[in-house]
Structure 1
Amino acid sequence: MLKVNNLNVYYGGIHALKDINIEVNEGEIVTLIGANGAGKTSTLRAISGLTPYKTGEIFFKDKAIKNIQPHKLVGSGIGHVPEGRKIFANLSVKENLELGAYLRNDKDGIKKDYEMIYDKFPRLKERMSQLSGTLSGGEQQMLAIGRALMNRPKLLLLDEPSMGLAPIVVKNIFDTIQEINKGGTTILLVEQNAHMALSIANRAYVLETGNVVLSGSADALLKDEKVRSAYLGE
């Protein structure tokens, strides 16, 4: 579904991504792990068109997507839940979800998807009319995921969904990520909680200073001594 070939991203004179190669097959959960500044967020932002890349190619469903505007990539089936959630704080929960469905005009389908989101996240239904900026961090994360799902993405990019959340909320978010995947959405997950990420992923890539230094099945990386000492605190 997604193929990233020899991707290079620069921020001024800083070479942030260095010949990154990543593949995500349909139906998988693939995770990118690594320390802060390793290039994980830059990779997701390049895929969704938010960060330009100097050289390399990104293919989504066998089509090159360089220089395609972000909103057109959303229309083609790429959803992005950004780091820090980026909800519209001055709009209600319902209005945020409406914006997620902005490119759609199938009213019956949209109505069903509201119910699907409220079924997954009952707290959002309770707070449907509440201003999003007044939600807790966990509720805002649920809303950010729900907003992305309202466009029925084929590929969902998730950037640090557990950041700043209590352990019980993190477990709920990860259970929901698995549910979304079982429902047919392919997922590329960036996550600092490497143990949680590897426990639900099919495959993983380890990034260090803009390079992919290790890749393989999530099970294999969970058992890898270097990964265990560097990222799992073991």
Structure 2
Amino acid sequence: MLSIEDVQVFYGNIRALEGVSLHVKQGEIVTLIGANGAGKSTLLKTVSGLLKPKKGRVLLEGKEIGGKAAQLIVKKGISHVPEGRRVFANMTVEENLQLGAYLRKDKEGLKQDYEKVYSLFPRLLERLKQQAGTLSGGEQQMLAMGRALMAKPRLLLLDEPSMGLAPLLVKTIFRIIEEINQAGTTILLVEQNAHLALSIAQRAYVMETGRIVLSGTSDELTSSDQVKMAYLGGH
């Protein structure tokens, strides 16, 4: 579904991605693990059109999307839940969700998708008229994911969904990620919590300083000594 081929991305003169290649098949959860600053968020931003690759290709179902405008990429079926959630703090929960759906014209489908988001995240229904900035961190994460789902993505990019959340909430968020996937959405997940990420993904890639250094099934990486030492606390 998604192919990234030999992609290089620069911030000014600094190379952030050095010839990264990976692929995500339809229906999969694929996770990207690695230390802070490894280039994981940069890669997601490149897929969603927030950054332009200097070299290489980004293909969605065989068609080049690298360097296209972010709103066109949303139209093609890719939604991005950024690191740090980035909800519109001064708008209500409802307005944030409406913004997620701003490109859509299908009234009936929209109604169903609002219902779907409320069933995944009942807390949002309780808080509809509340300003997003007054929500807890966990509720803001739910809102950011709900907002992305309102664009009806076929591919969902999730950047650090567990960041700063209490362990119990993290479990809930990850259960919901699995539900979203089971309902038919393909997921590319960036996550610091390698243990959790590997537990729900089918395949994984390890990034270090802008390069992919390891890839394989989640089971292979979970049992790799290198991954255990670096990302799973040696267990």
Task: State the TM bucket, normalised to the shorter chain.
Answer: over 0.9
Alpha-carbon shift at residue 66 of structure 1 (Å): 2.3
Summarize the alignment of residues 136-215 of structure 1 with structure 2, pairs less than 5 Å apart: 136-215=136-215
| TM-score computed with the length of structure 1 as normaliser | 0.99
Map 1:15-164; keep pairs closer than 5 Å. 15-164=15-164
Q: Percent identity?
A: 61
Q: Which moved more, 1:198-207 or 1:104-113?
A: 104-113
Q: What is the CA–CA distance in structure 2 between the aligned matches of 1:30 and 1:66, rounded to whole Å? A: 20
Instruction: Compute the displacement of 1:192 (Å).
Output: 0.2
Distance of 2:185 and 2:90 partners within structure 1: 29
Number of residues of Structure 1 aligned to a counterpart in Structure 2:
234
Of 66-75 and 199-208, the range deviating more from structure 2: 66-75
**SS of equivalent residue, structure 1 residue 144:** helix
SS at match of 1:32: strand
SS at match of 1:181: helix
Distance 2:200 2:115 in 1: 26
Cα distance in 1, alignment partners of residues 67 and 218 from structure 2: 32
Shift in Å, 1:14: 1.1
Question: CA offsets per residue over residues 63-103 of structure 1, 9 Å max, x none?
Answer: 00123110010011001000000100000000000000100
Runs of 5+ unmatched residues, structure 1:
none
Q: Distance in 2 between matches of 1:169 and 1:67?
A: 35
After superposition, give the CA deviation of every residue in 1:37-78 in whole Å (9 maximum; x if it has no partner). Answer: 000000000000001110000000110012311001001100
Partners of 1:74 and 1:13 in 2: how far apart? 29
- How far 1:126 moved relative to its partner? 0.3
C-alpha contact (below 8 Å) 2:46/2:67 kept by paired residues = no
Q: What is the TM-score with the length of structure 2 in the denominator?
A: 0.99
CA RMSD after TM alignment: 0.5
